[in-house]
Structure 1
Amino acid sequence: MNVIRARGNFDRAIRNTAIRLADRTTTSQLLTALRDSIGVRSTPIGTTAADRLMDLLVHGQDIAVPLGMTREMPVDAARSALERVWTTDTFRSREKFAGYHLVATDTGWDAGAGRAVEGPVASLLLLVSGRRAGREHLTGEGAERMFA
């Protein structure tokens, strides 16, 4: 129903649903619901463990970065999440980064062809998931061109 209400736009449906919930719920109620969900181990239909890992890593940075907090990503976990983002169409990463060769300098991951964009796997994960955070750690001819 929420996706229909948002005219098929999944991102808009999530945003609008969150706004409606926040409008009818107090801060105390929201915090209680969040705390109550900590132990929940159900999986949304159509998602994988790699999807949940990516959500945890990327959205953790979405919270930490604006607060000025450092939140390290384990390299192996970030690599798994990056592989998931790259190989699924969720973020259209292969399309957006056509012409670039992404290379993780702290693990053996690489993908694409073209101008090199090199850096820590965590920074590449943030890049391909559409975040600005971490760009300062990316180098190479592709990074120079991409961020010019």
Structure 2
Amino acid sequence: MNPWPEIHRQRIAVAAMLDSLRDDQWDQPSLCAGWTVRDVAGHLTLQQIGFRELAGMLRHWRGGMDATIQDAARRRATAWSPEQLVTNIRDTAALRRHNIGVTPMETLIDLLVHGQDIAVPLGLDHPMPPEAAAAATRRVLTMRFPPPPPSVRATSGVRLTATDVTWSHGEGPEARGPIAALLLVATGRLIALPRLTGPGAEILAARRTPPPPS
């Protein structure tokens, strides 16, 4: 799958969703532990940083890459108004650049998952294209570098099967559900677990101890 056309569409969709928010919704908690909606939006403006921007980020090192990225997202979210954040995401939607050390698939995964990190706690409907979600979920579950999120380990020994697109992964007792829910569970968003059914879903529910998503 060439992810760039879907990356473009998802950036436009996320910008439209953010553009519709009330002022108070920007400071509501997202699904990312410790991240507000504003922080997540700030993070999504950091998808195309080059060596110069990376060097600037590393000057604010916080002891680990996840913490450093979160710090950069918060600093961007604080420095820019909601209108500036939305404008940046929309104006850079068609650019085919990705961060150093990741592939375009990670860029797509970020958009699909972080879009739900914003939408779900606010009770908003933000559809996830099944084919793109299937490609993203397979990438999450099979990636070696960058390292996969720790939540991937919780899916071992379970067969994940999508109910809205032809897709499955793994061996063992089956957990069935919409591909969007499978992607969220694979990336540590346990709020999606009730959308899964089958004996494998019961196993995943019993493993509800992965670290918070970043």
State the TM-score, normalizing by the size of structure 2.
Answer: 0.59
Matches within 5 A, 1:22-101: 22-27=77-82, 29-88=84-143, 89-101=147-159
Q: Which moved more, 1:49-58 or 1:80-89?
A: 49-58
- The Cα of 1:79 is off from its aligned counterpart by 0.6
Q: Where is the strand percentage greater, Structure 1 or Structure 2?
A: 1
Work out whether residues 161 and 177 of structure 2, in 8 Å CA contact, stay in contact via their aligned partners in 1. yes
2:65 corresponds to: 10
Distance 1:21 1:53, change over 3 A: closer
Q: Which residue type is aligned with residue 86 of structure 1?
A: L
User: Which residue is 2:42 aligned to?
Assistant: none
Letter in 1 for 2:107: R
Q: What is the distance in 2 between the residues matched to 1:145 and 1:69? A: 29
Q: Alignment identity in percent?
A: 41
Deviating beyond 6 angstroms after TM superposition, the runs of 4 or more aligned structure 1 residues are none
SS state of the match for residue 102, structure 1?
strand
Partner secondary structure for residue 202 of structure 2: helix
Residues 53-72 of structure 1, C-alpha deviations (whole Å, 9 max, x = no match) = 21121111111111211122
| Structure 2 residue matching 1:147: 3-state secondary structure | helix
SS in 2 for 1:71: coil
Q: Which amino acid aligns with 1:61?
A: Q
**Partner letter of residue 201 of structure 2?**
A
In the aligned structure 2, how far is the partner of 1:31 from the partner of 1:107?
Answer: 31
Stretches of structure 2 that go unaligned for 5 or more consecutive residues are: 1-54, 207-214
Aligned residue for 2:173, secondary structure, equals strand
CA contact (8 A) 2:133 2:180 kept: yes
1:57-110 Cα deviation digits (max 9, x unpaired): 111111111121112211111111111111113214542222222111223322
TM-score computed with the length of structure 1 as normaliser? 0.81
Quote how far apart the aligned CAs of 1:11 are: 1.1
Residues 119 and 67 (structure 1), Cα distance of their counterparts in 2 relative to 1, 3 Å cut: same
Aligned residue in 1 for 2:174: 116
What RMSD over aligned residues (CA atoms) do the two structures have, in Å? 2.4
Match of 1:67, as an amino acid?
A: L
Give 1:124 deviation, angstroms: 0.4
> Which structure ranks higher in relative contact order (CA pairs < 8 Å, sequence separation ≥ 6)?
2
CA contact (8 A) 1:94 1:112 kept: no
Q: Which moved more, 1:31-40 or 1:78-87?
A: 31-40
Unmatched runs of 5 consecutive residues or more in structure 1: none
Letter of the structure 2 residue corresponding to residue 124 of structure 1 = L
